[in-house]
């Protein structure tokens, strides 16, 4: 049995393969998490955010806001990468907070595209990890304090959703 989740731009679909021996609840949970990671329903797709975004203004500060749009996008990328690396590598050491999570540079269109590309790559990696039925979603990591793959994936969904909402507002203010 397979569940497909296309992204909004017709790019390659992520498929979750479920064995007949596998618990249907596990398969359903994986499918839901993949759907949340990819966007849609009540969550904004990255490509929808990027469509029509005034990228040439991504390095401008908006009155009353502490960050440029690129700084928020790059923060999202850094945090997503940090969450994935923690799950993947027991020897990984997170950047210091907050300075390691927020870029100092204001950004530009080239940096915007590079951040967006890396976010997509990392997102595909966590989708593949969640989709792999050999990975136990609920088993605590031996190197953590109770964190699980499910918790890390949902943390990405939550964090990305929050900052995509901020970026959607910034997009309107910059247009």
Tokens of 44: 């904004």
CATH number for the domain running over 37-174: 1.20.120
Question: Is the previous residue joined to 98 through a cis bond, with omega within 30 degrees of 0?
Answer: yes
Mean pLDDT of the chain: 88
Q: pLDDT tens digit string along 86-117?
A: 999 999 999 999 999 999 999 999 999 999 99
Q: Identify the DSSP state of 16.
A: E
Three-state secondary structure call for residue 5: strand
DSSP string across 117-146: HHHHHHHHHHHHHHH-TTS-SSSPPTTSSS
Alpha carbons 171 and 59: distance in angstroms, whole number: 12
Residues paired with 40 in a beta bridge: 43
Tokens of 171: 């997009």
Tokens of 7: 């992204």
Q: pLDDT tens digit string along 34-89?
A: 999 988 777 777 788 889 999 999 999 999 999 999 999 999 999 999 999 999 99
Contact 49, 70 (CB under 8 A): no
Q: In the chain, where are the structural domains located?
A: 37-174
């Amino acid at each position: 049995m397979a569940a497909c989740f296309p992204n909004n731009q017709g790019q390659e679909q992520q498929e979750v393969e479920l064995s007949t021996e596998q618990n249907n609840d596990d398969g359903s949970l994986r499918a839901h998490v993949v759907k949340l990671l990819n966007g849609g329903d009540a969550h904004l797709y990255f490509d929808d955010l990027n469509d029509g975004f005034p990228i040439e203004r991504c390095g401008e500060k908006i009155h009353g806001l502490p960050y440029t749009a690129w700084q928020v996008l790059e923060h999202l990328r850094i945090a997503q990468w940090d969450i994935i690396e923690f799950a993947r590598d027991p020897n990984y050491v997170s950047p210091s907070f907050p300075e390691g999570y927020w870029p100092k540079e204001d950004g530009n269109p080239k940096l915007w595209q590079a951040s967006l590309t890396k976010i997509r790559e990392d997102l595909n990696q966590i989708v593949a990890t969640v989709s792999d039925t050999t990975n136990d979603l609920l088993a605590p990591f031996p190197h953590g304090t109770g964190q699980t793959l499910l918790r890390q994936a949902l943390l990405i969904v939550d964090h990305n959703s929050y900052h995509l909402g901020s970026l959607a507002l910034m997009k309107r203010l910059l247009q």
